[in-house]
Amino acid sequence: MAEKQLNTQAWQVLAAAVAAPRKRPGLGDDVVGHKVVQTAAAMWLIAVCADGAGSARLGRRGAEVAVRQALLWLQTKVQRKRAGQTPWMVSGLQRSVDRALQAEAQRQKTSVRELATTLVCAVAGPTRTWLAQVGDGAAVVQMAVNSAWLLPIWPDRGEHVNETLFAGDPRSRWHSQELPPVQALAVLSDGLLPVAVDHATRQPFQPFFSGLAGELRRGEAAQLHDAFVEFLSSPRLAERTDDDVSLVLAVRRAEAGGDVPA
């Protein structure tokens, strides 16, 4: 299911979640979300991606809850007066998402395990970029200083093959990292890892991200959205991965001139 694109003064954003071919025309288990938050001092971009566990009966619902709660928590965070200066602790996001999943489990009269989902979050502000995730998704950033694409947090696949960890599970490990400002970022589910990440070097596949970001910089998100969804749905991509695929891609507008420091 495709998310609507978003144009703002400072950012262009494309976002879509596409079901694996075997699941179409139904929905997959991936959910994406994004939001631009304007505060008195700056503009912040929030991008979130969740992948509901295929083995969980309500995996997609868990992904929806995690995305909604993460966006809410992150928006509240950036709207605080000193959000651009004080340290961010991933434990706050973890508690918020876990509680939302527990509340949903109670409403559904089931266990949190049936709502198992991974979660990747990226927040780009005027003086910092903050990444947080649980599970095997990825957040990739293009640094403002040297234009290199980096994968600061390696996807957590657990200790065994085909194993990952999920939000709501007390055994899960949440990871976070704070970085300088970026000129572009992407959050993606594990379905895109075969084409987006070089596992030998543990680095992003530069042509993949540079090509997509270049198209977005040269065009307008509103005009590019259909082609973006078509690419994620293409047989060419399906040859490389048989999973749901989701991607939120954002580039900073050159004419925006950067945000005002908080």
Give the predicted TM-score (pTM) of the model.
0.91
pLDDT value, residue 23: 93
Distance between first and last Cα of the chain: 36
Top-level class of domain 6-255: alpha beta
pLDDT by residue (tens digit) across 24-44?
998 999 999 999 998 877 889
Alpha carbons 105 and 209: distance in angstroms, whole number: 37
pLDDT value, residue 108: 97
pLDDT value, residue 126: 85
pLDDT by residue (tens digit) across 113-126?
999 999 999 999 98
Q: Which of 15, 8, 10, 84 is nearest to 229 (CA)?
A: 15
Alpha helices, DSSP H, located in the chain: 59-78, 90-108, 193-196, 206-218, 221-232, 235-238
pLDDT value, residue 147: 86
pLDDT value, residue 87: 82
Q: What is the mean pLDDT of residues 205-231?
A: 95
Inter-CA distances, 250 with 13, 60, 159, Å: 4, 24, 32
pLDDT band at 9 (very low <50, low <70, confident <90, very high): low
Dihedral-angle region of residue 21 (phi above 0 means left; psi in -120 to 50 means alpha; beta otherwise) = alpha
The domain locations on the chain are 6-255
Indicate if the pLDDT at residue 259 is higher than 50: no
Mean pLDDT of all residues belonging to the chain:
90
